Structure 1
Amino acid sequence: MPEPKKIVVNKVNDQPDLDKVFAIRREVFVGEQNCPPELEWEHEDESTHFLATVDGEPAGASRWRKTENGYKLERFAVLQQFRGQGVAQELVRAVLADLPADADYIYLNAQIQAVGLYEKFGFIAEGPQFEEAGIQHFKMVKRQ
């Protein structure tokens, strides 16, 4: 039986780690999903970024930021070779754990295929399905 993989998620703010975060997002969103690059790179300085590694290899990324509406979770991306190994769940867990204690309104825009992942963490789809960067999404809000 293969050795279980070690998934580690860290909050990052130094440039070498941010470069890894941005490279993962570029590969997943711009490369695989054909998102326009100008839509992908926004709000970087006001966001708190996370890098997931699997056995030390960069595997996934995410971030959160405070908006006028509350706390928005964004840019969850896992490289193709690491999907299905629990990386996304660890990213969601780490981001939620990092939010301030007074974060009362937590939301995200989930791609259709990721709705089930976020539901496991108490998020509920709200409102109609919509398109963002050519991809179908639902707004989801965390219920306490």
Structure 2
Amino acid sequence: MSQQISVKKVTEPELLDEVFAIRREVFVGEQNCPPELEWENEDVSNHFLATIDGEPAGAARWRKTENGYKLERFAVLKQFRGKGVAQELVKTVLTDLPSDAGYVYLNAQIQAVGLYKKFGFEQTGPQFEEAGIQHFKMELKK
């Protein structure tokens, strides 16, 4: 039985609550990120909620920064990993960027580098730590 993955941009408070609950569980709960680092730039970000058969499964966001367009906070709940949710999130977020988005980048946790490479991102610069987790900066090559 195939499961239906859906990703949509959300602005409604009750759906944003679901986005933030997913991020709290993954980043603060599982990965021990300090909560004060997790909750920043929410009001200037475009938020996305992924569902599987209508059940909240993942979240992500993008925002415009002084450097360009930054993709952030990709999170998939443990029970939904390995089902294609992350790929659908990346695909939808990239499609949502403005057509004139020149420089697109993200900071990828090491275990997610392969995912982003599938979408044309390349590692740039050395490995670094953010919120106690090892990352690589990645840039979208068009």
> Which category of TM-score, normalised to the shorter sequence, fits these structures?
over 0.9
Task: Report the CA distance between 1:106 and its aligned residue.
Answer: 0.2
* Structure 2 partner of 1:48: 46
- Are 2:115 and 1:117 aligned? yes
Percent of paired sites with the same residue: 77
Alignment map for 1:7-86 (pairs within 5 Å): 7-86=5-84
| Residue 78 (structure 1) shift | 0.1
Letter in 2 for 1:122: G
Alignment: residue pair count: 142
Aligned ranges 1:74-113 → 2 under 5 Å: 74-113=72-111
Which segments of 5 or more consecutive residues in structure 2 lack a partner in the other structure?
none
Runs of 4+ in 1 over 2 A off after TM superposition: none
- Cα drift, residue 34 of structure 1: 0.1
Per-residue CA deviations over 1:66-92 (Å, capped at 9, x if unaligned) read 000000000000000000000000000
Q: CA deviation at 1:19?
A: 0.0
Structure 1 residue runs of 5 or longer lacking an equivalent are: none
Q: Deviations over 1:36-79 (max 9, x none)?
A: 00000000000000000000000000000000000000000000
RMSD over aligned CA atoms reads 0.2
AA aligned to 2:30 is E
Letter aligned with residue 121 of structure 1: F
Which residue matches 1:142? 140
SS in structure 2 of the partner of residue 45 of structure 1: helix
| Alignment TM-score, normalising by the size of structure 2 | 1.00
